[in-house]
Amino acid sequence: MVFLRIIGYNNVLKHMNADHRLSVPQQGKSRIPELKKGDVFLMIKKNRMIGTAVCALITAMTLTACVQVNVNTAEAAAADRESVNQVSLLQGLTFGDYNGSRSAGEVKSMGDIGIGTFDALNGELIMLDGVIYRAAGDGSVEAVDDSETIPFCDVTWFDSDESETITDIQDIASLKEVLDKKVSELGTNRFYFIRIDGKFKEMNVRSELAQTEPYKPLAKVLETDQTFFDYSDIDGTVVGLYCPDYMDRLNAVGWHFHFISDDREKGGHMLDLKFDSGELKWDYTDGFSMILPENEMFSDFDLTVDQSEDIRRVETGDGE
Amino acid sequence: MVFLRIIGYNNVLKHMNADHRLSVPQQGKSRIPELKKGDVFLMIKKNRMIGTAVCALITAMTLTACVQVNVNTAEAAAADRESVNQVSLLQGLTFGDYNGSRSAGEVKSMGDIGIGTFDALNGELIMLDGVIYRAAGDGSVEAVDDSETIPFCDVTWFDSDESETITDIQDIASLKEVLDKKVSELGTNRFYFIRIDGKFKEMNVRSELAQTEPYKPLAKVLETDQTFFDYSDIDGTVVGLYCPDYMDRLNAVGWHFHFISDDREKGGHMLDLKFDSGELKWDYTDGFSMILPENEMFSDFDLTVDQSEDIRRVETGDGE
């Protein structure tokens, strides 16, 4: 029976806000038990220059600093993962605020799957299994540096709540039909992330060319600077987000999909697709968090203007 | 020079999601230093039955479990406090979902100031300096138990970003005029919490009587079950929240005020006021987080219906 256990700091981090979960390279072997109500913790902070032996000595000298945790932190950690975490509003992007406000490194602390775009509208963002990729306007795909900045994205920690094989999807409309049927059963007022892994007979994506300041509104940019790529018999993953109807002024209502190929060489904002069979996984999410950018461009927008038609054109790739 | 320091677990908690910040009664004396990039932590978890001496021994035996924290956690903690944390949608409440979904104890982990209501619509919620009060339908005020549940509220950690004395406020319209002028300078697309401490020549508040299931929509309830209380020359605090225009389907746009007296015996949803001089403090908040309830009533709502007129009546106390 183990009464005393060392746990790594990243176990604490599991219980932190997704916004603040931190990259913690682990040194040495560490046992990571679950936290339980009533557990007592002691945490020692030391200067990195000091050896572990001194650490132990001081620990013994100052053990009266123990504090008691009176809650079920495991529950808190579970809730933490059930949130769609958004940088800015899609409506800020639609107005032309392409100024990256959060780094890719920060966004990685908010989730491991997601969709969005990059500073200067430099390509479509697809996050999958914790890696952030850019599907650029020239059709190329790359994993971005943590210093790359992001003006808009939605990410979450993907926990598969349900999975199923879906078959005979002829186009994006029939995919949405399958997904919407499920949403109407699960509740239309919640958020959902999905991923579909499979071989796609047809995959139609778009990206866009990086912009230079002063930035034009998104619908205007897409009239001239969209690029389209059509692939066939391509293995990859579709990442999708569903937002409830009441989100119509903070994001796009309904489904929004991005795609990336298994070889990580092709991808973009998905406009259409066709496939015989794919593995669909659902992550039901009951929370939503948003971080607003601090730049003046965002502050000065008149977001009372109805942008629904612009949003529709942006989503469908209708540049006309 | 101190190289090694014991820090309490609540110092870690300061860096956690507001949703998950936990009540940590501190035992014994604890030094709480700031965390810095490069600091090394060791955390020991032990069964509460085991004494601190054993804890120290095991610490020495397992020090290889040290992990390194490579980020500025102090920054993360600061960002964490800059979020309006909301339980459910006001529109859920308007439809009649008075089912408490989060406990007062949980809400205390999300902020120390706020407004809302209680399970069964049993009075107006005012949170001030970390205490949650109920201003009940009979005019009485009480601090509630942590087990009390809450169907809707907005809270934050109040950090005063700016304070000023405001004078000669003749009514709620003139107060909003003063506040809106400031909001137009600071940016209308952000969230703001304010508090005004002072002696109020006139203070008009309302509350409502607790409901029984099946619940009626809020506007319907207020036709018959509102209670009004008018006070004069009363010392107390106004707590106010400003939501941007794009929040019109998740909350009430603009200002929403609650009041509580200094003696904690009177309070409610503020309908009007008059005062000569008061201390106004602003907390600018650039984040918004929402936790959706899990009950079926919420899942089944048709939130595509326009509730703006109901929201107006609820806010103004217009029961007709």
pLDDT tens for A88-123 read 999 899 999 999 999 999 999 999 999 999 999 999
- Does A24 lie at the interface with B, CB-CB under 8 angstroms? yes
For residues A160 and A164, give the distance between their C-alpha atoms in angstroms, rounded to a whole number: 11
Instruction: Output the pLDDT for position B48.
Output: 35
A217 interface with B at CB cutoff 8 Å? no
Residues A112 and A232 grouped into a single domain? yes
Closest CB to A292: pick one of B68, B71, B189: B189
Give a yes or no: residue A54 inside a domain. yes
pLDDT tens string A205-215: 999 999 999 99
Best-predicted range by mean pLDDT among A47-61, B13-27, B86-100, B293-307?
B86-100
Q: Would you tell me which residues 265-294 of chain B have a C-beta closer than 8 angstroms to some C-beta of chain A?
A: 286-292, 294
Indicate whether B255 pLDDT > 80: yes
pLDDT given at position A40: 29
Residue A145 lies inside a defined structural domain of this protein: yes
A138 and A65 share one domain: no
Residues of A in contact with B23 (CB under 8 A): 70-71
Whether B291 and B196 share a structural domain:
yes
Query: Are residue A257 and residue A287 in the same domain, yes or no?
Result: yes
* Residue A194 host element (H or E): strand A191-208
Cβ contact, residue pair A60, B65, below 8 Å: no
Residue B275 has pLDDT above 70, yes or no: yes
CA distance readout (Å), A106 to A145, A298, B302: 11, 20, 35
Per-residue confidence at A129, pLDDT binned at 50, 70, 90? very high
Does residue B176 lie within any of the structural domains?
A: yes
| Per-window interface: B 96-155 vs A, CB < 8 A | none
Same domain, yes or no: A75 and A86: no
Mean pLDDT along residues A300-307: 75
Q: How many whole angstroms from its chain centre is CA A301?
A: 25
Give the per-residue pLDDT at A294: 83
How confident is the model at residue B148, as a pLDDT?
98
Distance from the Cα of residue A227 to its chain's centroid: 23
Residue A4 belongs to a domain: no
**Chain B neighbors of A50, CB-CB under 8 A:** 3-4
Query: In terms of domains, do A185 and A257 share one?
Result: yes
Smallest CA–CA distance, residue A186 to chain B, in Å, is: 8
A54 CB within 8 Å of a chain B CB: yes
Question: Chain-wide mean pLDDT for chain A?
Answer: 79
- Do A59 and A200 share a structural domain? no
In a domain, B33, yes or no: yes
Residue A266's domain comprises 82-316
Same domain, A174 and A47: no
Q: Give the count of beta carbons closer than 10 Å to the beta carbon of residue A49.
A: 8
Q: How far is B163 from chain A (nearest CA, A)?
A: 21
Instruction: Kindly report which listed range (A48-52, B1-5, B256-260) carries the lowest average pLDDT score.
Output: B1-5
Question: How far away is chain A from the Cα of B234, in angstroms, using its nearest Cα?
Answer: 37
The closest alpha carbon to B111, from B317, B287, B281, B238, belongs to: B287
**Contact at CB, B20 and A77, closer than 8 angstroms:** yes
Please count the structural domains in chain B.
2
Which residue from A52, A188, A300 is facing B63, i.e. has the nearest CB?
A: A52
Residues of B in Cβ contact (< 8 Å) with A12:
12, 43
Q: Which residue has the higher pLDDT, B161 or B22?
A: B161
Look up the CATH number of the domain holding residue B141.
3.30.1330.80
Query: Given an 8 Å threshold on Cβ–Cβ distance, is A54 in contact with B16?
Result: no
Same domain, A75 and A97: no
The whole-chain average pLDDT of chain B stands at 79
pLDDT at residue A313, rounded to an integer: 77
Output A167 or A61, whichever has higher pLDDT.
A167
pLDDT band with cut points at 50, 70 and 90 for residue B70: very low
Name residues 183-202 of chain B within 8 A of A (Cβ).
186-190
Residue B282 makes CB contacts below 8 A (sequence gap 6+) with B160, B161, B162, B163, B182, B192, B193, B194
Name B302's Cβ contacts closer than 8 Å, sequence gap at least 6. none
Q: Is B51 on the interface with A (CB under 8 A)?
A: no
| pLDDT at site B311 | 75
**Residue B142 belongs to a domain:** yes
Q: Among the three residues B79, B97, B124, which one is the final residue of a domain in this structure?
A: B79
Q: Residue B162 above 50 pLDDT?
A: yes
Q: List the single residue in B with minimal CA-CA distance to A63.
A: B52
Q: Do residue A186 and residue A52 come from a single domain? A: no
**Amino acid at the residue A150:** I
pLDDT value of position A306: 76
Q: What is the pLDDT of residue A25?
A: 28
Chain B partners within 8 Å of A247 (Cβ): 249
The sign of the torsion formed by the CA atoms of B19, B112, B116, B163 equals: negative
Q: Are residues A40 and A112 in the same domain?
A: no
pLDDT at res. A24: 28
Ranges A151-165, A181-195, B9-23: which has the least confidence: B9-23
Report yes or no: B77 at the A interface, CB cutoff 8 Å: yes
- Co-location of A95 and A241 in the same domain: yes
Any domain includes A124: yes
Residue where one domain finishes, among candidates A50, A79, A108: A79
Nearest chain A CA: its distance from B157 CA (Å): 15
Q: Is the sign of the CA dihedral A70, A72, A74, A78 positive or negative?
A: negative
> Among residues B8, B197, B16, B235, which one has the least CA distance to residue B113?
B197
Domain end call among A26, A53, A79: A79
A39 contacts in chain B (CB < 8 Å): 45-48
Cα nearest neighbour of A247 on chain B:
B249
In B, minimum Cα distance to A285 occurs at B292
Q: Is B34 on the interface with A (CB under 8 A)?
A: no
Query: Counting one residue from A and one from B, how many pairs have CB atoms under 8 Å apart?
Result: 328
Tell whether B3 is covered by a domain: no
pLDDT (tens digit per residue) in A8-33: 333 333 333 322 222 222 333 333 33
The residue with greater pLDDT, A253 or A14, is: A253
- Specify the pLDDT at position B18: 29
**Cβ within 8 Å, pair A64-B52:** yes
Question: How many angstroms separate the Cα of A314 from the Cα of each of A123, A253, B267?
Answer: 14, 13, 48
Q: Is the pLDDT of residue A274 over 60?
A: yes
Q: How confident is the model at residue B296 (pLDDT cuts 50, 70, 90)?
A: confident
B56, B71, B291 ranked by CB distance to A63: nearest: B56
Contacts with B32 from chain A: Cβ below 8 Å? none
Residue B23 is nearest to which of A70, A298, A303, comparing CB atoms?
A70
pLDDT digits (tens, 9 = 90+) for B103-143: 999 999 999 999 999 999 999 999 999 999 999 999 999 99
ipTM over 0.85: no
Structure confidence at residue A319 (pLDDT): 57
- The pLDDT > 70 percentage for chain A reads 75
